[in-house]
Amino acid sequence: MNLAFVQRWIRFLAIAVGMTFVAFPLYWMLLTALTPREQLFRPPFQLLRFDLSLENIIELLSATEFLVYLMNSMIVAAGAVVLNVIAATFAGYALSRYEFRLKHTVAQGTLLSYMFPPILLAIPLYILLSDLGLRNSYIGLILAHASISLPLNIWIMWQYFQIVPVSLEEAAWVSGASKLRGLLQVCLPSALPGMMSVAIFAFALSWNDFAFAFILQTDTSMYTLPVGLATFVERTAIHWGMIMSSSALISIPTFAMVFLLQRYLISGLGIAR
């Protein structure tokens, strides 16, 4: 048994232990979601069981406003993705292609603003959106989410456009294309991985946000999924079956999006470094 073989197995065991710690909460969440209500608090608590049921999920979809919360989250997340991709793409392109005073200071200040806790913006955003009549609206929450995700996304796109050769655009200009057409037909296809990573980051942040949605959306019909899930915790009871069922359903879009677009995410964040 050589040293390389031992080191390989040690790395394998370390990864297996780490994956166990990561995967077990997800497994327990799914197991609890599919466990019949009368069995949830009846010992012994089994790590593996076969008397699974969709009772909690059916009750969640039929007896609560889960579908309303789901629709609200999807609309807000989609709006945040579109706004982030468009704004970050044009801002990143401008930072990489045009020279102006304090350009690097502006770029670094953009990234610096991402380092502050988002909750610092809660009160100013509440006052501003209240004055504009945008509380309890999709547009207001989309703008709030963009305010905390856009700085890093601009930085990502700025770094990404720097690796797109200017000569490609110059060749398009010589052929008679305008600067806008060169951007749309030459730069954007080359910067697609960065745009996908921006979309993933914006979606995940908007989809999982609780603080801004809780502060800005006081109308129950405008609750998003994280805020709606919190209503399952009452003073006299905690509906664990519905909490775990909703948590499992909430996780599916994020896992699916990251799984399908993970190569773009890794590439985009690698460039940002």
pLDDT (tens digit, 0 to 9) for every residue of the chain, 273 residues total? Answer: 577 777 788 888 888 888 888 888 888 888 888 888 777 777 777 777 777 888 888 888 888 888 999 999 999 999 999 999 999 998 888 888 877 777 777 777 777 777 778 788 888 889 999 999 888 999 999 999 998 888 888 888 888 888 877 777 778 787 777 777 777 777 888 888 888 888 888 998 999 899 899 999 888 889 999 998 888 887 667 778 888 888 888 888 888 877 777 766 665 555 445
User: Among 234, 224, 230, which residue's Cα sits nearest to residue 243?
Assistant: 230
What b/e sequence results for 68-85 when a residue is b if at least 16 CB atoms lie within 10 Å of its CB, and e otherwise? bbbebbeebbebbbebbb
249: buried, middle or exposed (CB in 10 Å: 19+, 13-18, 0-12)? middle
Is the distance from CB of 83 to CB of 146 less than 8 angstroms?
yes
For residues 154 and 24, give the distance between their C-alpha atoms in angstroms, rounded to a whole number.
36
> For 217, left (φ over 0), alpha (ψ -120 to 50), or beta?
beta
> What local confidence, expressed as pLDDT, does residue 26 receive?
86
For residues 124 and 79, give the distance between their C-alpha atoms in angstroms, rounded to a whole number.
21
Task: Show Cβ contacts of residue 187 under 8 Å, excluding neighbours closer than 6 positions.
Answer: 93, 161, 164, 168, 169
8: buried, middle or exposed (CB in 10 Å: 19+, 13-18, 0-12)? exposed
Domain 64-272 in this protein, CATH class: mainly alpha
User: Among 166, 162, 153, 163, which residue's Cα sits nearest to residue 195?
Assistant: 153
What b/e sequence results for 172-208 when a residue is b if at least 16 CB atoms lie within 10 Å of its CB, and e otherwise? beeeebeeeebbeebbbeebebbbbbbbbbbbbbbbb
Task: Show Cβ contacts of residue 95 under 8 Å, excluding neighbours closer than 6 positions.
Answer: 103, 106, 107, 154, 158, 161
Main-chain phi, psi angles of 126, to 5 degrees? -60, -45
Cα angle 256-155-103, degrees, rounded to a multiple of 5? 165
> What local confidence, expressed as pLDDT, does residue 182 receive?
78
> What local confidence, expressed as pLDDT, does residue 41 receive?
75
For residues 228 and 68, give the distance between their C-alpha atoms in angstroms, rounded to a whole number.
9
> What local confidence, expressed as pLDDT, does residue 1 receive?
55
Tokens read off for 152:
């890093």
> What local confidence, expressed as pLDDT, does residue 178 receive?
77
For residues 218 and 215, give the distance between their C-alpha atoms in angstroms, rounded to a whole number.
7
> What local confidence, expressed as pLDDT, does residue 218 receive?
86
